[in-house]
Chain A
Amino acid sequence: MSELEKALRRDAVVADLDALTHRFAERAAGEGLLDIAYAELDSPLGRLVAASTDRGLVTLSYADSGVDPVLERLAAMISPRVLEAPARLDDVQREVDEYFEGRRHDFDLPIDWALVHGFTARILQATARIPFGEVSSYRGVAREAGNERAVRAAGNALGANPIPIVVPCHRVLRTGGALGGYTGGVERKKHLLALEGVLPR
């Protein structure tokens, strides 16, 4: 490469672009171009990725494998117009904080069910109605969703819950009281059930 070519590269400077990018997300929201806003949230169970559409909270995922898989799923299933816009998830962070501090039993967040369909959606909507501190069984939510015999399908649906904690799939146990599985690992299920007084702390 000649000196001139090097100089041309050098003279095209770079600034710190983070501030510029944040302002961009705000402007995109203002112009109605932000289909999905997301933020990384802190919780006692680790980092979470929260994402909202105009209709409500669409996912609250454990970020064990990082943020990218969550964003890729949102882009493929809803819209590729996905931007980091933490201010738009302030309500979610606040309610999650209050829940873990024991000051909130019911979430008031509107839910967007766009990531789930059919029987899975009905299972998760039935699960959303189980009150704080109570539990149901896979058979119980299958019955609520209109097919008592679809116990295995109910288990699959709960394992695919895109909005754990807020849609409390941790409140669904196996018949007889065994814990069963959990989307974020069974240790987290125990933690949540202890927080709600179902298991001893």
Chain B
Amino acid sequence: MPLPPFQVFLEEHRDRVFRFLVASVGPHDAEDCFQDTFISALRAYPRLRPDSKLSAWVLTIAHRKALDVHRARARHAIPVDELPERGVEDQPRDGEHGLWTSARDLPAKQREALLYRFAGDLPYADVAAAMGVSEDAARQSVSQGLKKLRKELVG
């Protein structure tokens, strides 16, 4: 199978990419990240091997773009003496989005695995391909992440 025309690829994966980005960086930054992700994909596209797993490939690009956003936020974060209590804000801050906000404090590998699996909706084989690990390791990261998140939500 030759590479599909980019428009076809885009329409097939844009939903998955946008979900992934909203979960990772929140709705506010997701749109810019979406554009950056597909521009990078389009740049590399003609050199891509036709048998590549396109869903895993485009999500690894989205993940890199999301990490850029997280790094930029960390640089611009202003230290405060007291953390505000949870639940006092009317509006969520930039990047806050339901459960995925709670998932932000998980170890990086576990969070990444949860994002690929549940926001990106990848099967485990593709989670493993995206993370460059074995399928067993991918499953383990997901289950550890779920366990930790569950504990956090209860505790």
Contacts and interface: CB of A to CB of B under 8 A. Distances in A.
Nearest to B42: A33
Contact of B100 (A5, A8, A17, A20): A8
Contacts of A11: 23, 97-100
Contacts of A14: 15, 18-19, 22
B4 A5 contact: no
B79 interface: no
Contacts of A27: 35, 39
A8 B8 contact: no
B46 interface: yes
Contacts of A9: 118-119, 121
B45 interface: yes
Interface residues of A, number: 34
Nearest to B23: A12
Contacts of A75: 2-6
Contacts of A72: 2, 4-5
A157 to B, nearest CB: 25
A31 B97 CA distance: 32
Contacts of A13: 19, 22, 27, 97
Interface in B129-155: 146, 149-150, 153
Contact of A8 (B7, B15, B43, B119): B119
A23 B35 contact: yes
Interface of B: 2-8, 10-11, 14-15, 18-20, 22-23, 27, 31, 34-35, 38-39, 42-43, 45-46, 97-100, 103, 114, 118-119, 121, 146, 149-150, 153
Given A71-B7, A79-B46, 9 more contacts: A8-B23, A8-B100, A11-B98, A17-B14, A20-B31, A21-B10, A28-B39, A68-B5, A80-B2
